[in-house]
Structure 1
Amino acid sequence: MPVPAAQHDVRAIAYVLSEYPVVSQTFVRDEIAALRAAGRRVEVVSVDRTGEDRIPASWSGPYTTLDDVSWPRAVLDALWWVARPRAVARLVRTLRLTGGARARRVLKGVPSAARRLAGLDVDVCHAHFGWTGMVVASYVGALLGRPVTVTLHAADIYLAGPELARRLGAVDHVVTVCEYNVRRLAAMGVDPARVTVVPCGVDVTVPVPPVPDPTRVVSVGRLVPKKGMDVLLEAFREVVDAVPGARLEIVGEGPEEQRLRALTDELGIGGHVTFAGALGHDETLARVDGAAVFALACRVLANGDSDAVPVAIREALVRERGVVTTDVAGIPENVDDETGWVVPSEDPAAVAKALVEALGDPALRARKGAAARRRQVEHYSLEASAERLGRLWSRLVAAGARR
């Protein structure tokens, strides 16, 4: 007879992350905060230092780093695990599945992290991204005999080779952020039954701010090719002719900045475009609040890299901003004709047409914005995402995964 799920309520989770804290990964920080707010204990282990150590604890919450482990401590903890042959056998099997990935670099800290987490009675180990954090989580979970899960996002799928499917054999279940990714993983040989979609949630309690400037467009993202900022600038050349006083603010930094600035001058729209640089999360959202329209012209690069579902889009949707974006990866699962404007990628004319309509029809923009917020509130809250993860982990623990 199945054991009732209530008897397997997961109360303690170890988040094993390649790097933490990372300011650009607010979705990880917010997910952890939502789990803690729901009464779950979350222990965060960062494999590497991020170079962002000056981030206040009030932003990141508590965490430890593998680099903090001294060699004497590492040796003592390794010997402690050697006396537990079943745990060592599980670790050896996991090393074979991962091909020993990162083993030489990280195994110094793994026994110590696992021993500390064992004392905290952790129920499950979770990672974000299919990089080092996932591999280390699989090693820690093997020693603990606890289920291991990972959330895969975008480049960690789209740029991965065949080794990803093999390494995923070392985790008990895969989480990803959109249905598009489920199909991509299936094409790589990952059984869809092992994959659950849990979107990155957003704060749906924020009030809807009034639109202070009906001619302002904002775009948020790193200045890298897959964000399509050049397409947006080319589109905006047409917008300034059609919408008097139209202005575009680009929030973000990256290697494309100088090229994009040069393109702005070449297009003759320098007086209509502002590059704000990288801003803190709260200030970035304030810039979104100050605009009528949010635009992001994502594209798929020749090597297959793209965004999956930028969280910035969801943050604009919940604020009832007009959202103009492209039909890349999982974006159409979140933005459609009811909630915004979705156009083909690499099509400046289509982007321009959508922007002109969004700026020029406040009533239509308001209807789409209200529908977008309703959908975000119903399906994409931080609390809903945390609850989905909790149910998944409870099922894995109930099934006896890894024990």
Structure 2
Amino acid sequence: MHQPEPDVGTRVLHLTQPVDGGVPRVVTDLARAQLAAGFQVTVACPDSALAGELRSLGAEVRRWEATRSPGPSLPGEVRRLARLLDEVRPALVHAHSAKAGLAGRLAVRGRIPTVFQPHAWSFEAVGGTTAALALRWERFGARWTARTVCVSEAERATGERAGISGRWSVVPNGIDTERFSPGTANNADSADVPEAAGPLVVCVGRLCRQKGQDVLLRAWPDVVRQVPGARLALVGDGPDGERLRAGAPESVAFVGAVADSVPWYRAADLVVLPSRWEGMALAPLEALACGRPVVVTDVDGARESLPDALVPHCLVPSENPAALAGAVTGLLSDTALRTSLGDQGRRYVQSTHDVRHMAEAVADVYRELLGPTPKPPVVPTECRESIHS
């Protein structure tokens, strides 16, 4: 059934930290679609390139300085958000990722409909006491969450198994399938893409433990032995960059961060993302949309990002260099199979993971929570005063 459009002027406040990687991409795509649909969109985030991009779209951006991980600065971050809520007076708050979800829900405490989107669970990213504390918080914070939006059924199931209660919606990640499309590397960022000299494997992602580039580097010598002349390009930057570069062979190029990853997908013979955990990564969807097969590890959301035909060839166990090398070698050795899988992947992403589907599904969640005529609430003064210093 068609849902009524939101009243013009309905204000949504997005909270995001981090401001790099896939999360801000989702925030930007949602802001663009929501502005076009008549929402008023405000985004609170640290000063960053993301802030400038959002302003260029017409969104209001409020500076919210916050660290990427919880720490001693958290009470001040929560107080600043509480003041911002009183100024912006949104009808709904949408908090993205663990840190914004923590600070946002502490500031709002259920007084405004609050959507929390974990983009992968925080307790999977850490271990020991830290993981136990993160899980305890997620269970507690659920009482102040009107809806938890997961990007995959697997992410939702992980949350439920962990004892996180509440109402759930699954909205798979989406990408712009017109921008990410087959073609040749022919824009400004293509200057650094190497000329064809041998099969090119590309890994796009932040250089960090989550994305598993270290596993790929352990697998790479086996690939080169089986496919002489193969080259690997790691596209992205991050905290593990220096460690990963140490001892990497000449056949591995560290590209760094790029403004546009499309030329790299188009230049690739194969794309790999050997993650240790995910909600649903954007890079595999982008690669498939460009007509390139992609090898991923069997973590939350990965299987759901692949059509069934790709699973036997492209899904491998996490943290298993031998299995990863076998899948990469097999695909690099079979041009016809790569072409077929790439074509099937492109059609799958167009039908299942278009950014317009994602934006409309999130808008449906908002409509359900707000009703046809939402009124911007006033955040009580005691909300701010009750946050202890």
Counterpart AA for 1:297: P
**Residues 1:252 and 2:236 aligned together:** yes
Counterpart AA for 1:149: V
- 1:348 corresponds in structure 2 to 321
The secondary structure found in structure 2 opposite 1:130 is helix
- 2:255 corresponds in structure 1 to 276
Structure-2-length-normalised TM-score? 0.78
Deviation at 1:279, TM superposition (A): 2.1
Q: Structure 1 runs of 4+ off > 6 angstroms?
A: 399-403
- 1:136 corresponds in structure 2 to 104
Deviation at 1:116, TM superposition (A): 3.6
Is 2:34–2:41's contact at 8 Å kept on the other side of the alignment? yes
Cα distance in 2 for residues equivalent to 1:273 and 1:279: 17
Counterpart AA for 2:92: V
> 1:36-68: per-residue Cα shift (whole Å, max 9, x none)?
23343312223xx3455884543795411257x
Aligned counterparts, 1:142-291, within 5 A: 146-158=112-124, 159=131, 160-191=134-165, 194-206=167-179, 207-210=181-184, 213=196, 215-264=199-248, 270-280=249-259, 282=260, 284-291=261-268
Shift of the 336–263 alpha-carbon distance from structure 1 to 2, 3 Å rule, reads: farther
Picking from 260, 270, 273, the partner of 1:296 is 273
Identical positions, percent? 29
Is 1:34–1:382's contact at 8 Å kept on the other side of the alignment? no
Cα distance in 2 for residues equivalent to 1:324 and 1:248: 14
The secondary structure found in structure 2 opposite 1:249 is strand
The total of aligned residue pairs comes to 346
Shift of the 130–362 alpha-carbon distance from structure 1 to 2, 3 Å rule, reads: same
Counterpart AA for 1:64: R
- 2:382 corresponds in structure 1 to none
Deviation at 1:195, TM superposition (A): 0.8
The secondary structure found in structure 2 opposite 1:250 is strand
Is 1:27–1:311's contact at 8 Å kept on the other side of the alignment? no
Shift of the 398–246 alpha-carbon distance from structure 1 to 2, 3 Å rule, reads: same
Deviation at 1:199, TM superposition (A): 1.9
RMSD of aligned residue pairs (Cα, Å): 3.2
Is 1:220–1:296's contact at 8 Å kept on the other side of the alignment? yes
Counterpart AA for 1:199: P
Counterpart AA for 1:298: S
Is 1:20–1:50's contact at 8 Å kept on the other side of the alignment? no
Deviation at 1:185, TM superposition (A): 1.3
Shift of the 10–386 alpha-carbon distance from structure 1 to 2, 3 Å rule, reads: farther
Structure-1-length-normalised TM-score? 0.76
Deviation at 1:194, TM superposition (A): 0.5
Deviation at 1:321, TM superposition (A): 0.7
- 2:68 corresponds in structure 1 to none
Deviation at 1:31, TM superposition (A): 2.1
Aligned counterparts, 1:3-402, within 5 A: 5-6=3-4, 12-19=10-17, 21-22=19-20, 25-46=24-45, 49-50=46-47, 52=49, 55=52, 57-58=55-56, 61-66=59-64, 102=74, 105-108=77-80, 110-111=82-83, 113-118=84-89, 122-133=90-101, 135-136=103-104, 139-140=107-108, 146-158=112-124, 159=131, 160-191=134-165, 194-206=167-179, 207-210=181-184, 213=196, 215-264=199-248, 270-280=249-259, 282=260, 284-299=261-276, 306-335=277-306, 338-339=309-310, 341-398=314-371
Looking at CA atoms only, which structure, 1 or 2, has the larger radius of gyration? 1
Q: Which moved more, 1:243-252 or 1:123-132?
A: 123-132
Cα distance in 2 for residues equivalent to 1:65 and 1:262: 37
Deviation at 1:103, TM superposition (A): 5.0
Deviation at 1:230, TM superposition (A): 2.2
Counterpart AA for 1:124: L
The secondary structure found in structure 2 opposite 1:317 is helix
Which structure 2 segments of 5+ residues have no match?
Answer: 66-72, 125-130, 186-194, 378-389
Is 2:16–2:43's contact at 8 Å kept on the other side of the alignment? no
